Amino acid sequence: MPTNKEVRVRFAPSPTGDLHVGNIRTALFDWAYARHTGGKFIFRIEDTDRERVTDEYIAAALDTLRWLGLQWDEGPEVGGPYGPYMQSQRLDIYAQWAQKFLDQGDAYYCYCSSEELEARREAQRAANVAPGYDGKCRSISPDELATFKAEGRKPVVRMRMPEGQTTFTDLIRGEVSFDHNFVPDFVLVRGDGSPLYTLAVAVDDVMMKVSHVLRGEDLLSSTPRQIRVYQAMGLTEDQYPEFAHLPFVMGQDNAKLSKRNGEVSIAWYRDAGYLPEAICNYLALLGWSPGDDREDVSREEIAQLFTVERVHSSPARFDMKKLEAINGDKIRALDLEDFLIRVLPFLQRDGIISGTPAELEVVRQALPLIQERIATLAEVTQMVKFLFVENFTVDADSAPKIADEQSQAVLSAAFDSLSALSEWNHDAIEAALRATLIEGLGLKPRIAFGGVRIAITGSHISPPLFESMELLGRERSLARVKASIA
């Protein structure tokens, strides 16, 4: 459906936990669509459920979006013409609309207790009819009303769903229809006066002039209810936002990814050393394609190329290995200073450095050695810690590997050869060790250098050995080889 409305797209999470892969994929597509069309990206916090939403989760949501570079044009902290953008600050607005719907006869008070509703649902199930509100309180006799009031019942406000069906064109799924036999009258306001999602989301989308609702497929079935609210608000069909429901993101096991799964929260990936640009790149490819086979897209390219037509309608599968590979590529693409800035928080967090200029210089020199060898920033700690430990000892699981007679003999020969070196640089070190261990003793490189690597770095995983020894310096290198000889 062509539209000449100004494009206004919103990301509207309910921060009842950390944002996870599925939420952020939605946020990214919302942002990309707004950027691609030159429209506005609105960030709205749906925090009416104050028992489950916390201030920490809200702060974390803002932080996550900012970290990913998905800057919003309107929303918390930046404001905008249709604020406030926190639903908890808009309760009066929802109450006014609910009252209007009551006055218009679109909505009605419902006094049914949850026990009564449950009993009737049970009966519906037994009779094999679609369960849902049966419309009992659409008309209440004055006597009944008096009784309910005398009992002190607090009514909910319920929207009247007319007979018929709701049909709309989803930009991804095409024409979608819902028969109202399966969309019973629904609650807009709870007995305590608090609004439900369906009321708040629809009112806000209208009042914030949202033109496009791109969101997860799990919300598809709430669309006919939202459209019903638009109608009660007096909108005509051409004034509804366009809908595009994004396909599910599945886990590798084919189960739906969920925000309760801490392993898929974006905060977890950040702590594990994933780059924001890698996450955006990977998530962009999760259900969308740039139009060719490329797997490397920058945030700017995503914004440039994003169209809803290229969003797939089938579920996408989250593949941790692929994310890791993309992350490794993005790490390799960093220039040295940028790489340094990104790894410092990890090294400080892990207690490897405190951040003195001298330490930074050592890290700066070590980084080119490891840039090709890591897939996440957190791996830097393991790679460089040998350069910073005071009382160095070989890891408990690596120590036995150099305790046997042959390894000890190799280490002794290496020590003698290194002690005789007049210059200390990686070429000289390599030449000396090759001459002694490979040409002299006839050892294979793995045997020759494996033990020295463990003696020097404490582990069999390390940056390239000779460069590592140069960086560590003559004195400390010789001391470590010596210490490894029993």
**Catalytic machinery residues:** 259
Adjacent-strand bridge partners of 165:
179
Count of positions on this chain that bind ligand GLU (CB under 6 A)? 7
Under 8 Å between Cβ of 15 and 54 = yes
Of residues 15 and 273, the one with the C-beta less far from ligand GLU? 15
Footprint on residues 13-32 left by ligand GLU (CB under 6 A): 13-14
| Alpha-carbon span 439 to 28, nearest angstrom | 57
Closest distance between ligand GLU and the C-beta of residue 88, in Å? 13
Of residues 213 and 302, the one with the C-beta less far from ligand GLU? 213
Where are the alpha helices (H) located in 388-463, listed in sequence order? 405-419, 426-433, 445-457
Choose the binding region for ligand GLU from 10-18, 69-77, 112-120, 324-332 (rule: CB under 6 A): 10-18
Closest distance between ligand GLU and the C-beta of residue 219, in Å? 5
Of residues 80 and 345, the one with the C-beta less far from ligand GLU? 80
Torsion of CA 338, 341, 347, 349, to 10 degrees: -130
Of residues 214 and 418, the one with the C-beta less far from ligand GLU? 214
Of residues 25 and 215, the one with the C-beta less far from ligand GLU? 215
| Alpha-carbon span 459 to 328, nearest angstrom | 22
Of residues 232 and 305, the one with the C-beta less far from ligand GLU? 232
Q: How far apart are the first and last CA of the chain?
A: 79
| Alpha-carbon span 1 to 330, nearest angstrom | 38
| Alpha-carbon span 105 to 98, nearest angstrom | 11
Closest distance between ligand GLU and the C-beta of residue 164, in Å? 23
Contact flag: residue 219 with ligand GLU (CB under 6 A): yes
Contact flag: residue 215 with ligand GLU (CB under 6 A): yes
Contact flag: residue 200 with ligand GLU (CB under 6 A): no
Of residues 59 and 341, the one with the C-beta less far from ligand GLU? 59
Footprint on residues 251-270 left by ligand GLU (CB under 6 A): none
Choose the binding region for ligand GLU from 6-14, 128-136, 280-288, 295-303 (rule: CB under 6 A): 6-14
Residue of the chain from 9, 12, 19, 188 that contacts ligand GLU (CB under 6 A): 12
Contact flag: residue 47 with ligand GLU (CB under 6 A): no
Among residues 430, 415, 419, the alpha carbon closest in space to that of 467 is found at 430
Closest distance between ligand GLU and the C-beta of residue 222, in Å? 7
DSSP state of 231: H
Residue 39 exposed, middle or buried by CB count within 10 Å (0-12, 13-18, 19+): middle
Give strand ranges (E) for 12-106: 40-43
Of residues 219 and 340, the one with the C-beta less far from ligand GLU? 219
Choose the binding region for ligand GLU from 12-20, 35-43, 149-157, 265-273 (rule: CB under 6 A): 12-20
Closest distance between ligand GLU and the C-beta of residue 60, in Å? 14
Contact flag: residue 90 with ligand GLU (CB under 6 A): no
Residue of the chain from 201, 305, 370, 418 that contacts ligand GLU (CB under 6 A): 201
Among residues 395, 398, 414, 297, the alpha carbon closest in space to that of 28 is found at 297
Footprint on residues 126-155 left by ligand GLU (CB under 6 A): none
Choose the binding region for ligand GLU from 11-19, 172-180, 296-304, 356-364 (rule: CB under 6 A): 11-19
Closest distance between ligand GLU and the C-beta of residue 241, in Å? 10
Closest distance between ligand GLU and the C-beta of residue 291, in Å? 26
Closest distance between ligand GLU and the C-beta of residue 198, in Å? 9
Print burial letters for 156-190: b (CB count within 10 Å at least 16), e (below 16): bbbbbbeeeebebebbbeeebebeeeebbbbbbbe
H/E segment holding residue 310: none
Of residues 199 and 334, the one with the C-beta less far from ligand GLU? 199
Adjacent-strand bridge partners of 288:
311
Contact flag: residue 199 with ligand GLU (CB under 6 A): no
Contact flag: residue 46 with ligand GLU (CB under 6 A): yes
Closest distance between ligand GLU and the C-beta of residue 53, in Å? 10
Choose the binding region for ligand GLU from 8-16, 242-250, 306-314, 391-399 (rule: CB under 6 A): 8-16
Rounded to whole angstroms, the maximal C-alpha distance in the chain is: 107
Print burial letters for 58-81: b (CB count within 10 Å at least 16), e (below 16): bebbbebbeebebebbbbbeeebe
> What secondary structure, in 3-state letters, does 99-157 show?
HHHHHHCCEEEECCCHHHHHHHHHHHHHCCCCCCCCCHHHCCCHHHHHHHHHCCCCCEE
| Alpha-carbon span 118 to 241, nearest angstrom | 35
Q: How many residues appear in the chain?
A: 486
Residues contributing to the site for ligand GLU (CB under 6 A): 12-14, 46, 201, 215, 219
